[in-house]
């Protein structure tokens, strides 16, 4: 048994729309080891959510096409029998979503929804499933569980709802949890609690986590490895320490520069100029070139004409950028990017 | 749940009171003298004056209103001395045109309308909702397009057109069914069904088309909800996702529509009853209007409105039963 729980190779997702083909995910590859956390970082429309929905087999629309390879526990999921993938969902791989209010069914009680999650995958009595649900709710820190079991999602606070979602996702002891912006819809104080909870449960169950977020604070808190996505492509892929200390790609620099820092003497944040590209009409060269401050330093028109390859910077660090390594370190030390 | 129902019932009683006042004022707003209408062919001012006193029309409006409401709850005696006559509870008035108590006329007409409405309702709900579900499940495929196309046609055909078409072809030309002749289902079930079949179909075509479209759009909308994605992420099969998670949520607006549509029909399906000579509330109302039979007009309006208000209450309670968020807010 290898240590890799999820291996994604050259994943491509396309949607056929009335306006043309949307290439939402382009050639994305990554691996997730058991018990580890991979953070996928990027703005809205960068393809981070779509790529994970594709992994879960949740892109059900007839207008989507998925190519590439997804090995879960060594088993190929792309093109697999949907029924086989369904049996894995909620059992060996689970997912939680951004807005727990809309993600929980408004018409069923918390207890019923959790019990259902148990009963889909194990042949146990309903009473047994219910007590497992109660146990799991206690574990995620829900107070007075017996009473909460009979309540509906709208009667709980946002943080409690996300705890319920986490309990529901982890109730069958999955090996992989995909968390799609799990703290975005929550208050800042609650965000920290939810992240702590995820960390504790990960330790207890040994669950691997794919954490989708645009919040680098969350990444620093939880991730072992980071994949930065932009315009549907992976633009940088490195261990979390390297992303913060030795980022190699101007987009990652931009993300880092836009984090507010209490210690910084700057009065203003540095936003990345412009907005993400439309996936219907991606630029020819580097997807980030139109917003890149440093493209003039690259010889010729390489940035405008040629999409850079994802090249190894060091053993476990890859980035896409036409800037040479010496140019990058010059820029980083000049601009004080990364905690050098 | 219980306080919710009590609150709704209070609202309903209030609405009914307002409604009875409006209906009563309607009676008085008609530009004819009710006393005049009660007078026979050999009419003299004396008779009119006597009738006015007998019917209580000489009293101030609020007294008349109270008498009218009292009549509904405890019955009423018209006139005084030797020329009195009793109108038993619930007294909705006396129709001089027909020489009958209005309540009796309504009680006779109501079952016909009820059979018509409930039969058509059952038919269109079954056909409409199933068609809508099939269309939603095959979204974008030929089944969907076929159902939507057919329902668009059904929805655009007016009831009088469909009704007459069926009458002309099925009965007059092809003689598949005898001419409509209403019989009570308890006395002659065969004649009853033969008479009711076409009216049911006529009404059901229109409503089934509407419900197919409504169900389809509701199901498609619900299938795009986040909690449906969650249900799939739990590993539930598509069948369970659709039946348990999507259908119940998609059902709510359908329940609302269905309740109000049924209530609307119970107040009388005027055109359909007229075409197929069904002695229901709709025909009673039309007849009353053409003959200036004021007490009957008032009574039919009141009955129809009561159906709508009661249906509203039932819908509200059903809504709360389906959606817990309504119950507790």
Residues B283 and B138 in one domain: yes
* Model confidence band, residue B51 (pLDDT cutoffs 50, 70, 90): confident
Residues B14 and B68 in one domain: yes
Residues B113 and B144 in one domain: yes
> What does the pLDDT look like over A33-87, one tens digit per residue?
999 999 999 888 788 889 999 999 988 776 888 999 999 998 999 988 989 999 9
Mean of per-residue pLDDT scores for chain A? 89
pLDDT score at B328:
61
Residues B284 and B308 in one domain: yes
Q: Most B CBs within 10 Å: which of A103, A109, A111, A165, as the mutation test of the B interface? A: A103
B225 CB neighbours in chain A (<8 A) are 102
Last residue of one domain, picked from the residues B101, B118, B133: B101
Identify the CATH number of the domain in which residue B220 sits. Answer: 1.10.3720.10
Rounded Cα distance between A203 and B144, Å, is 49
Gap from B211 CA to chain A (nearest CA, Å): 23
Gap from B262 CA to chain A (nearest CA, Å): 26
Q: Provide the CATH number for the domain formed by A4-229 in this structure.
A: 3.40.50.300
Residue A209: its H or E element: strand A208-213
Gap from B144 CA to chain A (nearest CA, Å): 15
Please name the member of B140, B227, B328 whose beta carbon is closest to the beta carbon of A105: B227
Tell whether A210 is within 8 A of chain B (Cβ).
no
Give how far Cα B203 sits from Cα of B207, B223, B228, Å: 6, 30, 35
| Secondary structure string (H, E, C) spanning A180-208 | ECCCCCCCHHHHHHHHHHHHHHHHHHCCE
Residues B177 and B290 in one domain: yes
Rounded Cα distance between A59 and A75, Å, is 19
Gap from A103 CA to chain B (nearest CA, Å): 4
Span B231-260, mean pLDDT? 91
Token pair of A67 as six digits: 């190519």
Cross-strand bridge partners of residue B243: none
Q: What 3-state DSSP class applies to A107?
A: coil
Q: Is the pLDDT of residue B1 over 80?
A: no
Q: Is the pLDDT of residue B50 over 60?
A: yes
Higher pLDDT, A102 or B84: A102
Nearest Cα residue to B249 out of A35, A232, A70, A107: A107
In sequence order, what DSSP letters do the residues of B88-126 get, joined into one string?
A: PSS---EETTTTEEHHHHHHHHHHHHHHHHHHHHHHHHH
Rounded Cα distance between B187 and B176, Å, is 22
Rounded Cα distance between A226 and B258, Å, is 53
Residues B73 and B165 in one domain: no
pLDDT score at B83:
64
Rounded Cα distance between B57 and B51, Å, is 8
B242 CB neighbours in chain A (<8 A) are none
User: Checking DSSP bridges between strand A64-72 and strand A37-41, what pairing results, if any?
Assistant: unpaired
Could you give the percent of chain B with pLDDT greater than 70? 97
Residues B95 and B111 in one domain: no
Q: What sign does the CA torsion over A108, A112, A114, A118 have?
A: negative
Residues B83 and B114 in one domain: no
Range A263-301 burial, b when 16+ CB lie within 10 A, else e: eeeeeeeeebeeebbebeebbebbbbbbbbebbeebeee
Residues B64 and B144 in one domain: no
Residues B211 and B112 in one domain: yes
Q: How many domains does chain B have?
A: 2
Last residue of one domain, picked from the residues B76, B101, B126: B101
For chain A, the domains span: 4-229, 252-335
pLDDT score at B172:
84
The boundaries of the domain holding residue B60 are 2-101
ipTM of the complex, rounded to two decimals: 0.89
Rounded Cα distance between B232 and B234, Å, is 5
Residues B74 and B145 in one domain: no
Task: Specify the pTM.
Answer: 0.83
Q: Is the pLDDT of residue B327 over 80?
A: no
Tell whether B221 is within 8 A of chain A (Cβ).
no
Last residue of one domain, picked from the residues B44, B74, B101: B101
Residues B114 and B263 in one domain: yes
Chain A, residues 66-105, CB within 8 A of chain B, namely: 86-91, 94-95, 97, 99, 102-105
Mean of per-residue pLDDT scores for chain B? 87
């Amino acid at each position: 048994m290898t240590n890799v729980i999820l291996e994604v190779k050259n994943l491509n997702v396309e949607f056929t729309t009335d306006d043309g083909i949307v290439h939402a995910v382009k050639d994305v590859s990554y691996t997730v080891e058991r018990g580890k956390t991979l953070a996928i970082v990027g703005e809205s429309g960068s393809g981070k959510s779509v790529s994970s929905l594709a992994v879960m087999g949740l892109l059900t629309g007839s207008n989507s096409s998925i190519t590439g390879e997804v090995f879960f526990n060594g088993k190929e999921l792309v093109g697999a029998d949907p029924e086989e993938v369904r049996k894995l969902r909620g059992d060996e791989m689970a997912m939680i979503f951004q807005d727990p209010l809309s993600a929980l069914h408004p018409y069923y009680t918390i207890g019923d929804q959790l019990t259902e999650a148990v009963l889909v995958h194990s042949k146990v009595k309903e009473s047994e499933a219910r007590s497992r649900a109660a146990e799991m709710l206690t574990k995620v820190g829900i107070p007075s569980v017996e009473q909460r079991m009979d309540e509906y999602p709208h009667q709980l606070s946002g943080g409690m709802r996300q705890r319920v979602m986490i309990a529901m996702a982890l109730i069958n002891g999955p090996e992989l949890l995909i968390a799609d912006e799990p703290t975005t819809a929550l208050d800042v104080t609650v965000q920290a609690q939810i992240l702590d909870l995820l960390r504790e449960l990960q330790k207890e169950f040994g669950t691997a986590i794919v954490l989708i977020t645009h919040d680098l604070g969350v990444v620093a808190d939880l991730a072992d490895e980071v994949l930065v996505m932009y315009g549907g492509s992976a633009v940088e892929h490195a261990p979390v320490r390297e992303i913060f200390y030795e980022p190699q790609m101007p987009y990652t620099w931009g993300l880092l520069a836009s984090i507010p820092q209490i210690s910084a003497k700057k009065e203003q944040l540095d936003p990345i100029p412009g907005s993400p590209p439309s996936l219907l009409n991606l630029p020819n060269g580097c997807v980030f070139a139109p917003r890149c401050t440093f493209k003039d330093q690259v010889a010729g028109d390489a940035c405008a004409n040629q999409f850079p390859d994802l090249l190894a910077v060091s053993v476990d660090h890859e980035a896409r950028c036409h800037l040479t390594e010496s140019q990058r370190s010059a820029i980083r030390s000049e601009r004080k990017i990364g905690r050098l | 749940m219980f306080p919710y129902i009590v609150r709704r019932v209070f609202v309903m009683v209030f609405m009914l009171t307002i409604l009875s006042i409006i209906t009563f004022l309607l009676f008085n707003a008609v530009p004819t003298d009710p006393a005049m209408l009660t007078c026979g062919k050999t009419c003299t001012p004396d008779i009119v004056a006597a009738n006015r006193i007998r019917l209580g029309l000489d009293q101030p409006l609020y007294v008349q209103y109270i008498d009218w409401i009292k009549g509904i709850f405890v019955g009423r005696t018209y006139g005084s001395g030797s020329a009195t006559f009793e109108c038993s509870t619930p007294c909705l008035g006396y129709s001089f045109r027909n020489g009958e108590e209005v309540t009796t006329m309504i009680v006779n007409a109501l079952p016909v309308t009820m059979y018509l409405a409930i039969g058509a309702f059952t038919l269109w709900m079954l056909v409409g909702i199933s068609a809508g579900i099939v269309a939603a499940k095959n979204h974008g495929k030929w089944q969907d397009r076929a159902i939507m196309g057919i329902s668009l046609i059904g929805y655009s055909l007016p009831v009088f057109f469909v009704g007459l078409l069926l009458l002309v072809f099925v009965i007059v030309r092809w003689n598949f069914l005898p001419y409509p002749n209403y019989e009570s289902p308890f006395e002659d079930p065969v004649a009853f069904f033969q008479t009711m079949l076409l009216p049911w179909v006529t009404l059901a075509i229109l409503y089934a088309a509407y419900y197919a479209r409504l169900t389809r759009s509701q199901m498609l909308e619900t299938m795009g909800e986040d909690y449906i994605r969650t249900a799939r992420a739990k590993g539930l099969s598509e069948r369970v996702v659709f039946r348990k998670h999507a259908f119940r949520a998609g059902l709510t607006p359908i329940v609302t529509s269905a309740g109000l549509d049924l209530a609307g029909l119970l107040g009388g399906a005027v055109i359909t009853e007229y075409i197929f000579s069904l002695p229901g509330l709709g025909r009673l109302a039309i007849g009353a209007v053409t003959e200036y039979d004021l007490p009957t007009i008032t009574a039919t309006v009141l009955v129809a409105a009561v159906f709508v208000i009661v249906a509203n209450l039932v819908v509200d309670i059903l809504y709360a039963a389906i959606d817990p968020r309504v119950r507790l807010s």
